[in-house]
Amino acid sequence: MRSVATLVALLLAAAITEPAALDSIEPGAGAWTTWVIGPARALRLPPPPPATDSAAELAELRALTGARSSAALEAVAYWDVGPPSYRWNELAVSELLRRNAYSNVAGRELALLHVAVHDATVVAWDSKHAYMRPRPTAVAPGIATAVGVPRSPSYPDERAVAAGAAATVLGALSPERAAFFAARSEEAARSRLLAGVSYPSDVSAGLALGRAVAARVLEHRRADGFAVPWPGVVPHEAGKWRGSDPILPQAGTWLPWTLASPGELRPPPPPAPGSARMATELEELRSVVRTPKRDADALFWEHAAGGRRGYHFWNDVVSRTLLEQRLDDNAPRAARAYAVAHVAFHDVGVACWEAKFAYWAIRPGQLDPRIQPLFATPNHPSYPSGHSCFSSAMATVLARLFPGSAAAVEALAREASESRVWAGIHFRSDVDAGRALGHAVGRRVLEHARIDADGG
């Protein structure tokens, strides 16, 4: 006669090895296009532990969930907010703000972060649906969970995947903070055990997968030109921009993610000083009617959502939209949204800065001292407008990813562009060229990510 222990083991084996009837989130995400690693199946994890080993894992989960402290519950709640990318995005932005990073630098780092999380999540989804491991609660319903059970197979744990990928990238970008990010990743992963929704082997496999994919992404972008000093000089020709130590002239030489070269989409030359078109544009600036509303909007786009803060504003739009769309449980779609948005932000920054330092276009106040800017003119050439480039690229990708928000994000992008004319720091041709370049880069990124017209 079989022992009770043997019968329990057989029952566990049947429950764990039988494919679950699961209404899974994004079951096809394991076949999505990745940015760096190629087909996800090439990195598919080995199978999860056999059913006979799961009894010990379930016992560990029962012990952990049965002795949760208030501090443990706080950690679980913290890491469960939003999709898996959300808290790591917050931590990355906090780090960038701490370093007072300029938008081009922030765009580079956020693109690296979210590409790594995206590609790791796609591989995770391939492994999840290859093995279809049920969640612990499907096998042992008595386990008390502290959060909702995710609607996806258990192996590997998606939040551990994000933690492993994100901490690896952030630690490489800020080596002096690597230990901090590593500790946070362990905390994030352990929170899934304390929550009772994943096996220990799900979590350990997720951390390892995230770290491995992030290492590949970092190696792939190691020679992106970021560390190469700018070799140029400021020209001293009449009719060109005048100044010294321009902001990040080397940013126009960095390696884009989706363009063949930084200057592939370079706009045509700006109107020449003394031309009829330039005369028309100067007259428009002289005729701008400044109102309290326009001044307030222009100051907002300069100081709250521009320069060193522009990435923060648009990043917040992405995060807020993901929360409003209730994508907390949809790790693949959230990871894709963050990656597409920040690759677009990075690539348009490269393309915009390449054009700025190809043409060295003069600023309005330099050409005509009668034009008095509302605030200090940013220290780089005028054409094309950086605000117009960044905002239009972001509006293009966000409108495709979230069609219901298309009108709102395009209105924001248009106001960001117009505010530069109201402030007297850009010509009309600057903002028009920036908008065209932003839209073109946004479309290129969407095409590269194979996102169709309805955001799917």
Which tokens hold the place of 111? 């693109």
Q: What is the pLDDT of residue 51?
A: 77
- Render pLDDT for 274-314 as a digit per residue (tens, 0 to 9): 999 999 999 999 999 999 999 999 999 999 888 778 899 99
pLDDT band at residue 455, thresholds of 50, 70 and 90?
Answer: low
Q: What is the pLDDT of residue 222?
A: 96
Portion of the chain with pLDDT greater than 90, in percent:
89
* Rounded average pLDDT over 161-180: 98
- The beta-carbon contacts of 6-10 under 8 Å, at least 24 apart in sequence, are 8/55, 9/51, 9/52, 9/55
- Select from 159, 152, 149, 171 the least CA-distant residue to 206: 159
pLDDT greater than 90 at residue 454: no
pLDDT band at residue 100, thresholds of 50, 70 and 90?
Answer: very high
pLDDT greater than 80 at residue 354: yes
**240 φ, ψ (degrees, to nearest 5):** -100, 165
pLDDT greater than 50 at residue 16: no
Give the three-state DSSP class for 240: strand
Q: What is the pLDDT of residue 370?
A: 94
Contacts of 373 (CB under 8 A, 6+ apart): 364, 365, 423, 424, 425
- Render pLDDT for 66-84 as a digit per residue (tens, 0 to 9): 999 999 999 999 999 999 9
pLDDT greater than 60 at residue 49: yes
pLDDT greater than 70 at residue 181: yes
**Single pTM value for the model:** 0.93
Q: What is the pLDDT of residue 53?
A: 77
The runs of H, that is alpha helices, within 196-309 are 200-220, 276-286, 292-299
- Render pLDDT for 370-414 as a digit per residue (tens, 0 to 9): 999 999 999 999 999 999 999 999 999 999 999 999 999 999 999
**241 φ, ψ (degrees, to nearest 5):** -55, 140
Q: Angle formed by the axes of helices 276-286 and 428-449, to 10°? A: 100
Q: What is the pLDDT of residue 453?
A: 62
Q: What is the pLDDT of residue 142?
A: 87
Chain centroid, CA 228 distance in Å: 24
CATH code: domain 249-449 is 1.10.606.20
Question: If you compute the radius of gyration of the chain from its CA atoms, what whole number of angstroms results?
Answer: 25
Q: Start-end ranges of CATH 1.10.606.20 in the chain? A: 25-38+69-220, 249-449
Lowest-confidence region among 6-15, 54-63, 303-312, 392-401: 6-15
pLDDT band at residue 50, thresholds of 50, 70 and 90?
Answer: confident
Q: What is the pLDDT of residue 24?
A: 86
- Render pLDDT for 121-155 as a digit per residue (tens, 0 to 9): 999 999 999 999 999 999 998 899 999 999 999 99
DSSP string, 332-394: HHHHHHHHHHHHHHHHHHHHHHHHHHHH-BPPHHHH-TT---SSPPPSS--SS-HHHHHHHHH
Quote the CA–CA distance of 351 and 264 in Å, as a whole number: 8
Contact 379, 345 (CB under 8 A): no
Query: What average pLDDT does the structure give for the chain?
Result: 93
Position of tokens 């290859």?
Answer: 130
| Neighbour tally for 274: CB within 10 Å | 9
Quote the CA–CA distance of 423 and 427 in Å, as a whole number: 10
Quote the CA–CA distance of 124 and 25 in Å, as a whole number: 13
CATH 1.10.606.20 is right for the domain spanning 25-38+69-220: yes
